[in-house]
């Protein structure tokens, strides 16, 4: 009967030998215990009693926490992914600028040269910094993202957080300057931003959070970086994990196909139309086919496959999935997921769970998964409009930044790396085979890189 009161059950999945970390007071705590301590009871709006209602309620356009941003355009350093992308930095102002630019999202303006010089001069700043990755066709303006940022940055003057959002190319009213859009493996822009932050602010501990598609990208990034990752910890919310499984689940039912897949397909189609002139410079893309698509998987077939060279959307999904990347993660990662997320549902009644990588979490000491019995996709609406997932996410980040000895954690990671080698997993004492979770099928075959 707890569902009548909006109480959702929470469950945790992790390795039998989870990472043990040291607090600043010298105490030892396992990663799963830290995540459990960061997770309050999940009390949601009882009127939104399943994942469909929770997810549908995101269409109600509430104001959300008022985060003010300053935008800076970055040029890609890697010639293989030429083009520009927009990064929105949280600005600690009492009110939006009077000269707010209506070509940008609300409460967002560009840095002027003087303001940007001040940003680049903060070399001695040791405040923690959070790097955020939004969901499909979203951006820094998204309400779910601001629910996490607000409690972290509101006390910046008293030693709180700094934060920024990496907008996927073409999102958040940013311009595309090449034929490169983005995909579920698009880790190159966040990699450049993390490197830039580490060089610009060497005393700031860096953290990251990803939502939905951004969660998939962030998990892949963590796996690709492995023990060289400079982030101290990360959070992922509503990660689709196994993209092909999630896509097929959406296509199995009328609701999944005609509501969720069609809505996401329409969003991507609209994004394409906004940047059609630039993207269509890629002669592999058939504009007429793009304009005739209805569903997300059709968009991926016509645009993503044509852009990146995948033969089918299934090949793209299998290559971009982030479940295997968990084996290569070497920083504390807290994943939050609703079991009735419509991305993982086969019908309005029975939630399929095959896209959630339970077994991968069970073999990944640096990762912990928290699931809730309800909550929908990036929803978890509480009575009054709050988002429950923001609480465990913020609590975890605060604990990692304020309570954990990050220097000891880094030393522990390096010692473990030296002892265990790479992320490859042996499949037998006498067999010549090994499993490398990040040995992807897609690779850069041009002379731009040595592969």
- CATH number for the domain including 203? 3.40.50.1820
pLDDT of 451 reads 43
In a domain, 417, yes or no: yes
Query: How many independent structural domains does the chain possess?
Result: 1
For residues 204, 210, 216 and 222, what is the CA-based torsion angle, rounded to 10 degrees?
Answer: 10
In a domain, 292, yes or no: no
Beta carbons of 200 and 124 less than 8 angstroms apart: no
**What residue numbers bound the domain in which 66 lies?**
2-242+321-435
pLDDT of 347 reads 37
In a domain, 352, yes or no: yes
Q: Can you tell me which residue has the tokens 């990663």?
A: 31
In a domain, 256, yes or no: no
d(CA 86, CA 60): 27
pLDDT of 352 reads 45
Phi/psi for 428 (5° steps) reads 170, 155
pLDDT of 346 reads 39
In a domain, 300, yes or no: no
Mean pLDDT in runs of 10 for the chain (451 residues)?
Answer: 73 96 96 98 93 84 88 94 95 67 90 88 83 94 96 74 95 89 92 96 96 96 96 96 85 77 85 83 86 89 89 94 96 96 51 78 97 94 93 98 95 71 55 82 66 43
In a domain, 443, yes or no: no
In a domain, 310, yes or no: no
d(CA 218, CA 151): 22
In a domain, 398, yes or no: yes
pLDDT of 253 reads 78
* Structure tokens that stand for 426 in this block: 């042996």
d(CA 218, CA 320): 12
pLDDT of 246 reads 80
Write down the H helix ranges in 124-260. Answer: 143-153, 188-200, 213-225, 243-251, 254-255
């Amino acid at each position: 009967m707890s569902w009548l009161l909006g109480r959702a059950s929470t469950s945790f999945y992790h390795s039998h030998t989870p990472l043990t970390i040291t607090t600043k007071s010298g105490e030892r705590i396992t990663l799963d215990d830290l995540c459990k301590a960061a997770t309050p009871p999940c009390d949601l709006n009882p009127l939104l009693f399943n994942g469909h209602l929770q997810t549908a309620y995101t269409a109600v356009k509430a104001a959300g926490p008022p985060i003010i941003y300053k935008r800076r355009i970055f040029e890609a350093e890697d010639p293989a992914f030429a083009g520009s992308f927009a990064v929105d930095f949280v600005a600690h102002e009492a009110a939006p600028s009077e000269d707010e630019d209506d070509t940008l999202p609300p409460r967002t303006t560009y840095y002027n040269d003087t303001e940007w010089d001040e940003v680049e001069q903060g070399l001695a700043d040791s405040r923690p910094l959070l790097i955020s990755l939004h969901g499909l066709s979203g951006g820094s303006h998204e309400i779910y993202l601001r629910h996490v940022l607000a409690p972290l940055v509101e006390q910046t003057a008293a030693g709180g957080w700094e934060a920024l959002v990496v907008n996927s190319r073409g999102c958040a009213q940013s311009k595309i300057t090449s034929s490169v859009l983005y995909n579920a493996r698009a880790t190159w822009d966040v990699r450049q931003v993390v490197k830039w932050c580490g060089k610009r602010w060497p005393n700031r501990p860096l953290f990251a959070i990803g939502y939905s598609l951004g969660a998939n990208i962030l998990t892949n990034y963590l796996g690709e970086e492995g023990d060289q990752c400079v982030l101290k910890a990360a959070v992922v919310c509503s990660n689709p994990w196994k993209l092909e499984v999630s896509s097929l689940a959406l296509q199995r039912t009328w609701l999944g196909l005609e509501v969720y897949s069609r809505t996401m397909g329409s969003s991507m189609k609209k994004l394409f139309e906004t940047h059609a002139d630039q993207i269509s410079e890629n002669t592999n893309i058939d504009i007429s086919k793009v304009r005739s698509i209805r569903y997300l998987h059709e968009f991926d077939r016509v645009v993503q496959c044509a852009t990146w060279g995948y033969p089918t959307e299934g090949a793209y999904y299998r290559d971009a999935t982030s479940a295997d990347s968990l084996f290569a993660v070497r920083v504390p990662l807290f994943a939050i997921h609703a079991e009735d997320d419509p991305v993982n549902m086969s019908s309005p009644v029975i939630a399929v769970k095959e896209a959630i990588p339970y077994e991968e979490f069970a073999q990944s000491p640096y990762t912990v998964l928290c699931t809730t019995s309800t909550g929908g996709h990036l929803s978890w609406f509480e009575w009054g409009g709050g988002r429950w997932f923001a609480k465990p996410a913020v609590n975890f980040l605060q604990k990692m930044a304020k309570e954990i000895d990050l220097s000891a954690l880094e030393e522990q990671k390096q010692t473990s790396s030296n002892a265990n080698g790479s992320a490859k997993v042996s499949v037998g004492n006498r067999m010549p085979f090994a499993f490398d979770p990040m040995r992807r099928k897609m690779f850069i075959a041009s002379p731009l890189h040595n592969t």
